[in-house]
Structure 1
């Protein structure tokens, strides 16, 4: 597959060859990849807010977040937590509709997000807002919670940091709910790995129709190249079984993985685990 060869060339440092190969691919991904490489796109992944907004609020994310919010709302109704912690809440895309849909609203809601701009955009009246990383927040705040959640945020933590956050969180929450992706088990940089990236990104770009170039140039291409090259990583995802193992190592019990939604990148799953805080 020519785009696999293009990514292999990029990984090897031959950008000119990567551009040439990508330009010969008869696909939207090939066109977007060659255009991005030809303009020497080198900005940070999130430096084009319009592109990221179009990405997160379009394509397969519409169905993904609809299912996620419904699942969280069901958890609130079933568990009836008096206190809720959301680590890495972003702009509230998951927690806002979940609270609106649920028949039960926690009495205390703590929202933690390192981006001031995203945190300011969350529309959850009465919530406590903390502009902080998960690790700094937990280190400075001694609260406990009936329910803690983190939706597609813990993947952005380096593994040692994530392990420390989970260890710190386990004795301070009754239940933890994570939404993450069950990524395939492949050797990074192998032909199978690069072929998987190509097939998944072909699907991802195709979901955005008229806005495909905006999303691809401002978000998807820099992420793709970072993953393909094993450089400038912005996340450390792992298969669902690895999430289970990491939670159990941190001391969580009764870990359950449930399918959440099909998604172009990888299947999304909801992981529920029991901590040791009671009441």
Structure 2
């Protein structure tokens, strides 16, 4: 068996609740030279209980390294061009993180909105962006909590790889609210392939893509894998403590149309180890 097949079987065992068998299979795959297998075996040997975004050093290393460097450069350039074209007076960023997308976009743009609201549930990440955009109003809250607190509207609303972290039923309500309160909505998301969750094809695809992802991080590979990539991967596989609900781009467009948006478009943004990144616009 190849390391990809062994790791897919390890994920299947983990999904079935057999952590010991998953660890054994990861060890076998590691002997075939798989970096992901070594990281998985190490992770499974620990308690694996720390929530993903409670380890900001791992997330920061992930988001500021590997393929994310080119991805966020392209994203910020696109956002800046859209600020200049639309000239919004008010901007909302839902799930802004530490500002990796919005800060360079504002720095590049010739037009800067007069009112900027930045929303992020992680206090550690929000602190970083507040220092870099002192004129912005920063809110430590989830999108759901923030949108429930008042009836403000915005000319331009963006969310970059963040709405995938909201369970689809709750996300539907967020999108319905934004349809009433956003002049233009821009989402950056991944156009992920569609599989039956937990199928052999799905697990092999996850392994192949995560192997590429881990390989991009060099000496930071263990920090990124243990503190971010593996908790996300195993959450996808097992369904508990899940942090991401992603879809093909066409499904994102359908969700926006269901929420009441009438002018929805999808544009390519960048290639990426996980899946192609796209910009989804709606108004």
TM-score range, shorter chain: over 0.9
Say whether 1:222 aligns with 2:226.
no
Q: 1:215 and 1:61 mapped to 2: Cα distance? A: 13
Gaps of 5+ in 2: none
- The Cα shift of 1:195 comes to 0.4
Superposition RMSD on alpha carbons, in Å? 1.2
Deviates more, 1:62-71 or 1:225-234: 225-234
Matched, 1:90 2:97: yes
Partner deviation per Cα, 1:21-66 (whole Å, 9 max, x = no partner): 1111121111111111122322222232221111111111111111
| 3-state SS of 2:91 partner | strand
Structure 1 range deviating more: 136-145 or 237-246: 136-145
Q: Secondary structure at the match of 2:263?
A: strand
Normalised by the length of structure 2, the TM-score is: 0.94
Give the match's secondary structure for 2:187: strand
Q: 2:262 aligns with which of 250, 253, 272?
A: 253
How much has 1:136 moved relative to structure 2? 2.1
Aligned mates of 1:77, 1:37 — CA distance in 2: 48
> Alignment partner for residue 195 of structure 1, among 184, 204, 213?
204
Please list the CA deviations of residues 199-253 of structure 1 after superposition, one character each: whole Å capped at 9, or x if unmatched.
Answer: 0000000000111111111111121111112221111111111110110011111
Q: TM-score, normalised by structure 1?
A: 0.95
Q: Which of 139, 142, 148 matches 2:157? A: 148
2:48 is matched with which residue? 41
Q: Using the alignment, how far apart are the partners of 2:153 and 2:96 within structure 1?
A: 18
Q: Give the paired residue count.
A: 274
Task: Choose 211-220 or 69-78, whichever is displaced more.
Answer: 211-220
Whether 2:28 is the aligned partner of 1:9: answer no
User: Displacement, 1:164?
Assistant: 0.6
Q: Matched residue of 1:271: which SS?
A: strand
**CA drift at 1:187:** 0.2
